[in-house]
Structures are given as C-alpha cells and as structure tokens.
Homo-oligomer: A and B are copies of this chain.
Amino acid sequence: MTLKQLEAFYWAASCSNFAVAAQRLHLSVSSLSKRIAELEVSLGQLLFDRSGHRAVLTEAGNFLMPRARELLMAAEKLQTELRHAANLEGYCQIGVGELTALTWLPSLLRQVRNRHPKLSLEAFIGIGEILEQRLADGEIDVAVVAGRSSLRSVSSERIGEARFAWYIAQSVHPEFSTVEPGLFEQLPMVGLPSGSGVTRLVDDWQRDQGLVVGERIVCNQWGAVVGLLREGLGFGLLPRGWADAFSVQYGLRRLGCEPELPALDYYVHWRSDDYRTLVKTLRELVLRSVCFNI
C-alpha cells in the first residue's frame, strides 16, 4: 500500500469517472486503473465493483474512503508543515464566470505567478451551472461564480459583490431613459443563458416587480452581449463598473431604474471533500486578491 495508490483510489472514487480522476492526478487512465488494482491486491479486497458499465464502490471501498482521506490529509499536512515556504507546485484548474474572467482573473493569475511560480493555474470559463457541475465532477479545482452552489458536495465562501445596471443603445432607442414596464414588452432583453447568476438575478427581480418576462436574446458571452446592445437589438443588464468604462464610447446609455437591482454576490467554491493544501491555499489567495469593483 502506498500513498499514491490511496490517492488514486480516493480520486477515482470521488470523481465522476476514472478519466477525470486521472486528469486530476496527471496520469493516464490505464495507470490509474493499475494503481487501484494494485491497491486491491495489496489489501486483498476489491474496492470497486466492475460488473456494471461503470466502476462503483464496494463495501470495502466505502469503508476505505473516509480513512484514505484521513491518511492523505495527514500526509499533506505533514508536508506543508515541514516544507520551507508555502510554495505551491503543480497544476490546477480554476473555473470562473466570464465576467470574472474579463475583470478580475488577470490580476489573480498575475498574483499566482508571482507568489507560486511553480504552480501552473489554468482557467476554464463557463456559466455558473456548468462550473458547479465540473467542480463536483472533479474536472476543476476551484470556481469563482455568482451565488451559492446548489450542490451539497460543494462548499463556498463569499468574496464580494457586483452591481448591475441596464444599458441601451442611445442612438437607436432615444425614447427610453428609464426601465419601465413598457420596455419589456417592446424590446427584447439581451443577456446570458439561464444557468448564469446574472440571469437568476434578473428573474428574481422581474418576479418581485411583477413584470412580464418579455422576449429574450440569449448569448453566452458578455462581449457578444455588448455587441448586440450596440446594434440596438434590445436592452440589457451589464456590470456597472465594467460597462461604464466603455458605455460612452459605445453609445450605450445607462437606464434609470427604480428600485435598483440588488447586488450579485460572488463566491469562491470548492469541493467539500477536497483535502489538498493546493485548494486551501488557492482559496485564501482568491479571497485576498479580490478587488471586486465590477
């Protein structure tokens, strides 16, 4: 029995499949499979039931899971306690919403490069729902998205908020200067798909105001949303801090709105069962590096 074997087993059991676990361990699927098989031989117990389409934990496997986690945690603790600096090494993936990617991600990546030169951090951009699922599946290590996670297996901590405002192309629709019920009936709303935190924010706000949900033009990129607004295809919600930088130049007018939309809370998310120091340190770095002036 080796720590590597236990690690392979642990991630294989807690990720959605061997391929994801293998990716996390920077290992081929075949090697991962063999490591687990060797652990099984060493323990004299089958840990996975391979009779079905996918490997599923046996009783012995379930027994081992929390204990393997304990042991791996203890080993990690030992290493971080003894190692010189808190210099992270390795490779990990962070999932962020596109808005975060456009605004705050570059600063995080720069900080990570300065502080932990040997850590290569790769970003994956997507909407909240997808990121949560990828996080739970083990395909990414941390995620920064709006709103708490709906998944039990994911922990989260608030890191800041973003404020939004409505924008419209001034030249194409000079008749509107405030958000009013008629607006939703006459023009389509341009925004992100339904899985995104901003869209959830709008949905809640519209319901609270008793407004009809009019036509929507959906696009999964903020850049494209801005483009659609410039073309005058509709009105839409943009992050204030971000949009105000280019709204004049792009001919976008901010619409008055009463009451204002509430701020959208941003959270850093991670898997509750992820014991790695890597993740813990990364979380702390995210918290510290936040300058959420979106």
Task: Identify the A interface with B (CB < 8 A).
Answer: 1-4, 42-45, 60, 63-64, 67-68, 70-71, 74-75, 78-79, 81-84
Cβ 8 A contact of A1, one of B3, B43, B60, B84: B3
Contacts of A81 in B (CB 8 A): 63, 67
Contacts of A70 in B (CB 8 A): 74
State whether B78 touches A45 (Cβ < 8 A).
no
State whether B82 touches A64 (Cβ < 8 A).
yes
State whether A2 touches B1 (Cβ < 8 A).
no
Q: What is the CA–CA distance of A63 and B79 in the complex, to the nearest angstrom?
A: 12
The minimal Cβ–Cβ distance linking A187 to chain B, given in whole angstroms, is 61
State whether A78 touches B67 (Cβ < 8 A).
yes
Q: What is the CA–CA distance of A6 and B1 in the complex, to the nearest angstrom?
A: 13
Given A3-B3, A64-B82, 7 more A-B residue pairs with CB atoms under 8 Å apart are: A1-B75, A43-B79, A45-B83, A64-B78, A68-B78, A70-B74, A71-B78
State whether B44 touches A83 (Cβ < 8 A).
yes
Q: What is the CA–CA distance of A60 and B78 in the complex, to the nearest angstrom?
A: 11
Contacts of A79 in B (CB 8 A): 1, 42-43
Contacts of A78 in B (CB 8 A): 1, 64, 67-68, 71
Q: What is the CA–CA distance of A2 and B64 in the complex, to the nearest angstrom?
A: 19
Can you list 15 pairs linking A and B with CB atoms under 8 Å apart?
Answer: A1-B78, A1-B79, A2-B2, A3-B3, A42-B79, A43-B79, A43-B82, A43-B83, A44-B82, A60-B82, A64-B78, A67-B74, A68-B78, A70-B74, A71-B71
Contacts of A67 in B (CB 8 A): 74, 78, 81
State whether A75 touches B71 (Cβ < 8 A).
yes
Q: What is the CA–CA distance of A115 and B81 in the complex, to the nearest angstrom?
A: 42
Q: What is the CA–CA distance of A81 and B75 in the complex, to the nearest angstrom?
A: 19
Contacts of A82 in B (CB 8 A): 43-45, 60, 63-64
